[in-house]
A and B are shown apart, each in its own frame.
Chain A
């Protein structure tokens, strides 16, 4: 089982460049999430989606955009990369609402450096 797959695994960007972080899941989960993990900090929610065509902002959405055209895919777009966006980005999915006993399934992350 592939689970949640993120690409690329590593990327270096110059300030002002744009890129898309890809995330796909093969578990038919409705809920998908993007987090960033900075050293010494807990994961912070960037955007989330409760189903195809539905997205909403999380705690730290500035500088990012998302789309959810299919159940499987949830790409994260950086339009104008800034050094503050240097981080490790995790995509996750879950079968149902956080009130349930279903775990979130995480990808292995994209390590992004903005220079």
Chain B
């Protein structure tokens, strides 16, 4: 069964600190992996998209990594800011099956001053 699991479920850090969010997946065949940021009361917004051949992609203070062999991804946030408080959702897309985007349940990050 195609699944995407994220950890931790929630995380609290102090402003200025770094953090890493994890995503493990069992989706096959794999097409690409996406990270989205979802602010409270808003829709998800794309941060990065990585294909099978990419193992790192950055978007400002956000850096995503992908290990296609172990089917793991991480999202690293550097020098966190209060505005980073949000849910971060890992999405894996497949080239087969009806439900081609498989969403994780997200990691809820809270950054404290």
Name the one of A40, A45, A102, A107 contacting B99, with C-beta atoms under 8 angstroms. Answer: A45
Interface size class of B (residues with CB under 8 A): 20 to 34
Chain A residue nearest to B45 (CB atoms) is: A106
Contact between B31 and A40, CB atoms less than 8 A apart: no
Contacting residues, chain B, for A45 (C-beta < 8 A): 99, 101
Knowing A98-B93, A99-B32, A101-B51, the reply to whether A106 touches B43 (Cβ < 8 A) is yes
Closest Cβ–Cβ distance, residue A96 to chain B (whole Å): 12
Closest Cβ–Cβ distance, residue B22 to chain A (whole Å): 15
Contacting residues, chain A, for B103 (C-beta < 8 A): 42-44
Knowing A42-B105, A58-B99, A108-B42, the reply to whether A103 touches B34 (Cβ < 8 A) is yes
Contact between A108 and B41, CB atoms less than 8 A apart: yes
Knowing A59-B98, A104-B101, A106-B44, the reply to whether A99 touches B93 (Cβ < 8 A) is yes
B11 CB–A CB distance under 8 Å:
no
Cα–Cα distance between A88 and B45 once the two chains are bound (Å): 16
Contacting residues, chain A, for B49 (C-beta < 8 A): 101-103
Cα–Cα distance between A103 and B48 once the two chains are bound (Å): 9
> Which of A's residues lie within 8 Å of B, judged by CB?
4, 33, 40-45, 56-59, 90, 92, 98-99, 101-109
B55 CB–A CB distance under 8 Å:
no
Chain B 89-103 interface residues, beta-carbon cutoff 8 Å to A: 89, 93-95, 98-103
Contacting residues, chain A, for B44 (C-beta < 8 A): 43, 90, 104, 106
Cα–Cα distance between A106 and B49 once the two chains are bound (Å): 15
Cα–Cα distance between A44 and B98 once the two chains are bound (Å): 12
Contacting residues, chain A, for B95 (C-beta < 8 A): 98-99
Contact between B43 and A107, CB atoms less than 8 A apart: yes
B26 CB–A CB distance under 8 Å:
no
Name the one of A42, A92, A101 contacting B104, with C-beta atoms under 8 angstroms. Answer: A42
Closest Cβ–Cβ distance, residue B45 to chain A (whole Å): 7
Name the one of A98, A104, A107 contacting B46, with C-beta atoms under 8 angstroms. Answer: A104
